[in-house]
Amino acid sequence: MLGLCRRTEKLEGAVQISGSKNAALPILSACLLTDEKCVIRNVPDLEDVRVMFALLRKMGKTIKFEKNIAQVSGRLRSGVLPEKLVRKLRASVLVMGPVLSRLGEGSFALPGGCALGERPIDIHLGGLKAMGASYSILRGRMIFMRQALRGAHIKFSFPSVGATENLLMASSCAGGVTVIENASVEPEIGDLCLFLRAMGVGITRKGSSYTVKGRACLGGADFTVMPDRIEAGTFLLAAASVGGRVRVDSARPAHLGALLTKLRATGVKISKKGNSLTVNSPKIIKPVNIVTGHYPAFPTDLQPLWAVYMLRASGRSSIKDKIFPARFMYVDELKRLGASMVLKNAVLMINKSRLSGTNIYACDLRAAAAMIIAGLMAEGETRVYELRHLFRGYENFFIKLRKLGANVSMEKVKK
Ligand code: UD1
């Protein structure tokens, strides 16, 4: 599929934010920690979620999914993570923690490369080893020999979101107490902790340290996934970039602090009422630099969208990504639209640019959304190819954008 975008003068109306992809994935994976039924609500209907379902089914689970409610039941029977699914979903490494916690053994395909740059899993593996796990690598797989995990004191060299989630789940059914220091504190991890607590795990957090009291047997739970802060940020930035007035509903404004501060600094007016944010974009906006970092700093996932927004600012701005320093694969595609951008020493410099439509190719999920918004700002027609990246992580993106008045549609790519 490709996205066909035409210049749009303004976006207007209200948009409803879906459940968080990055919270739903670890929470679904945590269902492997029990054989009892779990009901997970507000699960976004996305490609990544469907791959996670396929993975859980391979491991013995039965899943019913209707109206954004996933009912997960059945016994964990297998600890084998197939390569095909790992290639489709990097977050599939999140099943390692629960599987080893329950079974003590497993065989997991190694994750390969990724469009965001090198993505090792050494921090996940270091934590699992500290808990007693031992593995050998054979034909592209990590084979974990049968060994019950036990509580440990773990200090991460760097706060990794996935490793924090994996180790929280690994310690949930392990014997004893586990302390994880220098861990990540993203809101999606907070949601996972709430779910684990609802299953019966004792978890506390103090700053960036978690203490987990494992329990051999966990119960099922009924849980509602938090709203997607990255989707909310995407629509706030879409409105700011294209222009107009948009209300973003079912957001959690408290999760968007860094973005809101930066948006206001550019001159955008944002008002807050309960869980809704209304953004009003002025004619002229100021350039503002960003540096991405761990929560609560500016999120790396919104960095490509900020880059597109800054193309209409009245001067030069810059972006430095401290989480994924090589996350600039989208720059050459935006240059094809006329974007004046220079990447030097891993810092992206962005100048005010007049965009004109052409064919461009999405390279990852957030870059796909950024390119569609750039297509709405460009003169004429922009075709964004490789939309499969977008479907991985945005629910009804085109329907939501069209409801706001965006001149955008999907087409089949002619062979
Ligand atoms: C998660 C999010 C992703 C987001 C990222 C950073 C999900 C499904 N994905 O990804 O959308 O962009 O957090 O907020 O929630 N690292 C290592 N060794 C490790 C693990 C990570 O060196 O063992 C490095 C990575 O290469 C990267 C950085 O740490 O440079 C951050 O990665 P991490 O926080 O683990 O991100 P993910 O959990 O993969």
Mind listing the pLDDT tens digit for each residue in 229-261? 999 999 999 999 999 999 999 999 999 999 999
Q: Averaged over 14-31, what is the pLDDT?
A: 98
DSSP one-letter code for 311 = T
* Averaged pLDDT for residues 265-281: 97
- 112 CA → ligand 1 middle, Å: 14
Look at residue 112 in the predicted model and tell me its pLDDT. 67
Rounded mean pLDDT, 366-380: 98
Averaged pLDDT for residues 136-143: 92
What domains does the chain contain, in order, with CATH numbers?
2-18+227-411 (3.65.10.10), 21-224 (3.65.10.10)
CA 119 to ligand 1 center in whole angstroms: 7
pLDDT score for 313: 98
Does an H or E element contain 222, and which? strand 222-224
What is the residue-averaged pLDDT of the chain?
A: 96
The answer on pLDDT for 332 being more than 80 is yes
Reported as a pLDDT band with limits 50, 70 and 90, residue 111 is confident
Instruction: Answer yes or no: is pLDDT of 414 > 90.
Output: no
Residues with C-beta less than 6 Å from any ligand 1 atom: 22, 25, 91, 118-124, 158, 160-163, 184, 188, 300-301, 323-324
Percent helix, strand, coil in the chain, to 5, is 35, 30, 35
319 has a pLDDT exceeding 90: yes
Ligand 1 atom closest to the CA of 161, numbered from 1: 34
Supply the pLDDT for residue 240.
98
- Distance between CA atoms of residues 168 and 108, nearest Å: 19
Task: State the distance from the centre of ligand 1 to the C-alpha of 291, rounded, in angstroms.
Answer: 16
The residues assigned a catalytic role are: 114
Neighbours of 119 (CB within 10 A): 15
Residue 118's pLDDT band (cuts 50, 70, 90): confident
Task: Give me the mean pLDDT over the 356-360 stretch.
Answer: 97
The pLDDT of residue 152 is: 97
The pLDDT, as a whole number, for residue 113 is: 62
| Side-by-side strand order, sheet with 290-292 | 290-292, 317-321, 347-351, 340-344
In percent, the amount of the chain with pLDDT more than 90 equals 94
Mind listing the pLDDT tens digit for each residue in 196-237?
Answer: 999 999 999 999 999 999 999 999 999 999 999 999 999 999
Mean pLDDT for 130-157 is 94
